[in-house]
Structure 1
C-alpha cells in the first residue's frame, strides 16, 4: 500500500497564522500556544514537507519556494476544513463582519454576493467600506477589516487567498459617437485608479490624444457621465448599464490591459461567520465562471 503523508490541520493552521499575523508570538497568542510550541509545530511541518518552508535572513523570516507553495495549499485545505466544521455545527451565525470593496465593485457583482449572504443570515451585521485598493489593504493589515476585495499587481501578495482577472472594456453611451482621430474625452476616477491608468496607457501607446472631461471618486457618478455622453470610460461587464455600449478596436479604441483582483483575509482572525462568507464568495465566483487561482503569499515576516 502506498504511504500517505497527512498534513494535520493544526500544523497548517499554525503555519498560516504565522504568515498572516507576521510573527511566531502573535500566532501563539491567536492560537493559545506558547512560542516554543509554535516553533515545534513549524519544525514538524517542515519534516513532513521534507524541506525548509521558512528561512531566516538577518532579523526577518522569509518563505522559501516550498513555503510559498505550501501556503496556497494550506489556505485551501483550512477553508474546506472550516466549511465542513461550520456545516455540521449548525449554531446560529451572528456578529459583525467588516468588508472592504474597491469603489468599482461597490454597486457591482460582489456587493450583491455579500448582501445575499447577509440576507440568508440575519444575525450578521454587515459593515461595508468602499475605497481605493491600497487603502482597503492598509485597513486589513491594521485589523480594521475582516476581509477585503482589492486590485493587486502581484500574483503573490500578503493575505491573498484567491485572485482572478478582470478585462476592462471601453464604455460609451449607446447613441454617443467618438472619433479617436480628433481626441477622446475621458470619464475617470481620480489619479491612482487602476482603470484610469490603463485608459491613459492604452491611448498613449496608440498615440491617441485624450483629455479628462469628468473626474469623480464614485462609480455612480462615472456611470452617469458616460450615460450623458460626457466621455468614455473603462468599466467591467458588471458595471455596464442598459443604454451603454462597448467600443471596440474597429472604432479605433485600443484594448485595455487586464486587472488582477484578489480576495484577501487573515485566516486566524476570521470568525465562523467570516469563514462562511469566504466560502460563499468562492462558490459564487465559481458559479459565475470567473476563473480563479489560489494565491501564493510571498511575504516578509517579523520574528518576535
Structure 2
C-alpha cells in the first residue's frame, strides 16, 4: 500500500483559504501569489482525488470531503506549530478574546484559562459569555480568537474538535413541580440548543409545557430550578445539591445528546492562542472522557 503524506504547506494554505474566505486574501497572508495558492489547492485535491471546495458566486463553500479534511488539517497544523514553538522556545504575549457558552458547564474551562494566565503573565485574556449561536457569530466576524460552543445542524468550517455530552432533566429537591401541568420550564432564550431539546423531548412524550422562566445565564436557571420555578435541562457538572435528576419514570424522556465544539481560525491565531487551545483541549478531553472525539 502506497502511503500518502499530506504536506504541511498545502494544509496551511487550505486552512488559510477557509479562514480568510478566499485565495486572494490567503495569498497576502502566506506571502504568495494568488495563482500559487490556487495551484496548491489543486495539488491537494489531486493528491486526495477529492473536490474540497467550491465557489458559489463569490462565496467559498467546503464540500463534505473538504469539511472532513478541515478538521484534521487544523489538528495537524496545531501539532506542527506547537512542536516548532516548543523547540524554538518562543515567548508568548498579547491579548486573546475567548467566547464561552452560558448553555454549557464552563466552570472547568474558566479554571483552565485562569491557570493559563497565571503561567503566562504577558498574555491578557478577555472572556465573553453568551449563547453558543451568538458566540460563533462573533468568531465568524473576527471579534473572537477562540470559541467554545454547542454544535447545531449546520456545518462550521472552523471546528477543530468536538465532544459529546448527555443533558439531564433537573428539578427542585424541596419544591417538587414534576407533576404540574403544563410542565413549567426554566430555559435560556430562543436559540438555545438545550431549550430546543426540552421542547422536542416533551413533545415526543405528549406532555404540554410552558416557559415559566427565561434567563441567558446558567446561574439564573440554577436558582430558578432550586426554588421550584420550573425544571430545566443541563449537564451533570451544573447540577446543584438542592436539585434532583428527573427521569422517564417522572415523565421526562431522555434528551438528545449535545455536541460541543472548539473553534478558531488557525490563520489568525497567535502563538499565545495556540498554547491556550492546547490547554482547553486537555480540559475538554478530561471532562468529556471516552465520549470525546
TM-score normalized by structure 1?
Answer: 0.87
Q: Does 1:275 align with 2:274?
A: yes
Residues 22-59 of structure 1, C-alpha deviations (whole Å, 9 max, x = no match): 10011112222221221222233233324443345555
Cα distance, 1:221–1:69 mapped onto 2, change above 3 Å: closer
Q: Residue 101 of structure 1: SS of its match in structure 2?
A: strand
Residue equivalent to 1:17: 16
Unaligned 5+ residue runs, structure 2? none
Pair 1:4–1:204, CA change in 2 (3 A): closer
Rounded Cα–Cα distance in structure 1 between residues aligned with 2:75 and 2:22: 21
Q: How far is the alpha carbon of 1:65 from its aligned partner?
A: 4.3
- Aligned partners of 2:178, 2:113: CA distance in 1, in Å? 40
User: Residue 25 of structure 2 aligns with which residue?
Assistant: 26
Please name the residue that 1:262 is paired with: 261
Q: Which residue of 1 aligns with 2:108?
A: 109
Provide structure 1 residue ranges, at least 5 long, that are not aligned to the other structure.
Answer: 294-304
CA contact (8 A) 1:55 1:64 kept: yes
- In the other structure, the counterpart of 1:8 is 7
Q: Secondary structure at the match of 1:191?
A: coil
- The Cα of 1:110 is off from its aligned counterpart by 2.2
Q: How does 1:22-101 map to 2 (within 5 A)?
A: 22-56=21-55, 60-101=59-100
Q: Distance in 2 between matches of 1:116 and 1:243?
A: 29
CA distance in 2: counterparts of 1:169 and 1:235, whole angstroms: 6
How do residues 227-238 of structure 1 correspond to structure 2 at under 5 angstroms?
A: 227-238=226-237
Bigger shift: 95-104 or 165-174? 165-174
Aligned equivalent of 1:166:
165
In structure 2, relative to structure 1, the CA distance for the partners of 1:221 and 1:66 (3 Å cut) is closer
With over 3 angstroms needed to count, the CA separation of the structure-2 counterparts of 1:46 and 1:216, relative to structure 1, is closer
Following the alignment from structure 2 to structure 1, what is the Cα–Cα distance between the partners of residues 11 and 105? 34
Determine if contact 1:86/1:276 at 8 Å carries over to the other structure: no
Q: What is the deviation of 1:106?
A: 6.9
Per the TM alignment, residue 140 of structure 1 is displaced from its structure 2 partner at its CA by: 0.9
Say what the alpha-carbon RMSD is for the aligned residues. Answer: 2.2
TM-score when scaled to structure 2? 0.90
Contact 2:108 2:283 in 1 (8 A): no
Contact 1:83 1:275 in 2 (8 A): yes
Q: CA deviation at 1:225?
A: 1.0
**How far has the Cα of 1:67 moved from its partner?**
3.0
For 1:164 and 1:186, how far apart are their aligned partners in 2?
Answer: 26
